């Protein structure tokens, strides 16, 4: 009788451990808990970029007016965190570069050639040289988000230490 009670208690204890392990797996699968400090937003990064207002201000160094971003709190919270971004590859004229540009839109509609705004492009600094890619090839990258509010010679949205996934 005593051994039967012990066996029953052990079964309950193992069932509780199994339930806890199952719950942790569900959280990991759903992305609710993340032990690596990643903080991918619920919304697409392009949507968050699109919400950033730009204000025209005089840049005294250049003697010209430029549009400067005023980042949202949601986007500021992602700065320094690992994110993913998927977009159209826009080629640069740099040989053997580890830098690429991603656009929300194909090249004919992008910020550089079309009528899109600065919220539709991001510069990606890769850990290693990318494979050969074609214009408008869809590329997904993972890296650390950086935001540029002041340097007019750099893009507004930056992903550093990135890899192509």
Q: Could you read off the pLDDT of 26-74 as tens digits, one per residue?
A: 333 444 334 344 455 567 999 999 999 999 999 999 999 999 999 999 9
Q: Are 92 and 107 in contact (CB under 8 A)?
A: no
β-strand pairing of 157-164 with 121-126: parallel
CB-count exposure of residue 96 (10 Å: 0-12, 13-18, 19+)? exposed
Greatest Cα-to-Cα distance within the chain, rounded to the nearest angstrom: 91
* Residue 133 DSSP code: -
DSSP state letter for 31: T
pLDDT band at 82 (very low <50, low <70, confident <90, very high): very high
**DSSP 8-state class, residue 130:** P
């Amino acid at each position: 009788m005593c051994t039967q009670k012990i066996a029953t208690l052990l079964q309950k204890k193992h069932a509780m451990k199994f339930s806890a392990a199952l719950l942790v797996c569900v959280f990991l699968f759903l992305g609710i808990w993340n032990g690596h400090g990643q903080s991918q937003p619920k919304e697409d990064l392009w949507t968050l970029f699109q919400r950033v207002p730009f204000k025209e201000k005089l840049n005294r160094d250049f003697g010209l007016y430029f549009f400067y971003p005023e980042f949202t709190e949601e986007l500021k919270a992602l700065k320094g965190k690992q994110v993913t971004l998927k977009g159209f590859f826009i080629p640069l004229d740099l040989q053997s570069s580890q830098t690429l540009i991603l656009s929300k839109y194909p090249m004919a509609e992008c910020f550089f050639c079309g009528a899109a705004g600065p919220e539709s492009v991001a510069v990606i600094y890769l850990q290693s040289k990318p494979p050969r890619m074609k214009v408008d090839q869809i590329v997904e990258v993972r890296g650390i988000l950086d935001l540029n509010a002041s340097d007019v010679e750099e893009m507004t949205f930056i992903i550093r230490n990135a890899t192509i996934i």
